[in-house]
Amino acid sequence: MKAKQTIVLEAFASAIGSFRWVAAALFVAYLLSATILVQPGEVALVLRCGKLLGATRDEQIRRPGLLFALPYPIDRVIRIPVKEEGEVLVEDLWKSLTDAGPVIETINPLKEGYCLTGDQNILQTRLVAKYRIDDPVLYALSIENPNGLVHDAVMTATTENIAAWRVNDALRLRDDLTQRNLSTLVLQSAQARLDRAECGLILSALEFKEIHPPRHLRAEFERAQSARVAKDTRKREAEGFASSKVPQAEAERNRLVKEALANASFVRASATAEVAVFQTLSDEYRRKPKSTKDRIYREALQQIMSQIGKKYLIPPGSPGGGMRIYVSEQENSQ
């Protein structure tokens, strides 16, 4: 009987020893169960009893590599994909122009979104925003729905900024420069809201996918746009005509001015020369009036005679008396 009891006790002790090693192995496996490998492109945070471990940001944010932590529920590891880029499509301010529903004269704001421009017109738009995680701690511990937060910030910023634009300027989003300007303003305004929320998110890009007037007024806006295009075309044609005619007019003006200046110089020089001759003749006449008068008479007579073709001299004793001059060629031609 004692031998049997001894055998039972020995078996029980052996089982207890074996269980101790199994329990130790299970305990070690339990301790190592929270050890994870943080992949490239992500970081991790460790919460111990609900409190973030680490005194500084560098200590709190665990970089890629092997991470040792205590098992749950003591420690909780949060993995954050910081290299991934989130995307949010904002369609609350938009309604398709090809919507199959009935076209009515008014907009139901409960079913159809819109923006109000600065000149009290209505526009509808949809846009896409991309964001990335800038502060993993704020991202993990401050917000629950990052897409919803980005969506609300972008939608609010869009309505605020379009309210400061005229409808014609906003509709020029087909122009790359205009789109960059408005997109930049909306992005900056939305980012300011996210910064105030301390969510750890940063907007990396924002693009307007579509912007147009409501389908109720589409035809009117298209007619106005066509008229605006026609006006711009006529304006460019007029500017082109002016650019071709103005240089010609300027060249003609310069030519006339040069001719006038040259003529003025010639007339002035001629007048100066005539004044000098007259002054000389006047001085000579004062000194010798009779001889000067005779000389002037002879010079005038010589000039007249040089312009006559054939000349006939009549003797002094002929009827009619004195010397007469006849221009036979001129008389014959007449």
Computed over every residue of the chain, the mean pLDDT equals: 80
pLDDT of 282 over the 90 cut: no
Q: What SS3 state is found at 291?
A: helix
The packing angle between helices 146-162 and 176-197, to 10°, is 130
Residue 190 — φ and ψ, nearest 5°?
-65, -40
Dump pLDDT digits (tens) for 6-63: 654 555 555 565 556 556 555 555 555 567 788 898 998 888 888 888 888 888 888 8
Between CA 41 and CA 63 the distance in angstroms is 9
Question: CA nearest 187: which of 202, 166, 168?
Answer: 202
pTM, rounded to two decimals: 0.59
Q: What SS3 state is found at 86?
A: strand
pLDDT of 174 over the 70 cut: no
Beta strands at 43-48 and 51-52: parallel, antiparallel or unpaired: antiparallel
Q: Report the pLDDT averaged over residues 262-286.
A: 87
Question: CA nearest 153: which of 120, 121, 198, 116?
Answer: 198
In DSSP notation, 195-238 reads: HHHT--EEEEEEEEEEEE--GGGHHHHHHHHHHHHHHHHHHHHH
Largest Cα–Cα distance of the chain, in whole Å?
208
Between CA 200 and CA 194 the distance in angstroms is 8
Local structure of residue 87 (DSSP, 8 states) = E
Between CA 151 and CA 35 the distance in angstroms is 36
Dump pLDDT digits (tens) for 65-87: 877 777 777 888 888 998 899 99
pLDDT for 149: 95
Is the CB of residue 80 less than 8 Å from the CB of residue 201?
no
Between CA 282 and CA 288 the distance in angstroms is 10
Is-cis flag, bond preceding 73, omega within 30?
A: yes
Alpha helices, DSSP H only, in the chain? 2-32, 57-60, 136-142, 146-162, 167-170, 176-197, 218-287, 289-306, 328-333
Lookup: tokens for 283: 């001085």
- Within 10 Å of residue 211's Cβ, how many Cβ atoms? 22
CA distances from 21 to 15, 16, 26, 34 (A): 10, 9, 9, 21
Is the CB of residue 129 less than 8 Å from the CB of residue 205?
yes
pLDDT of 321 over the 60 cut: no
pLDDT of 332 over the 50 cut: no
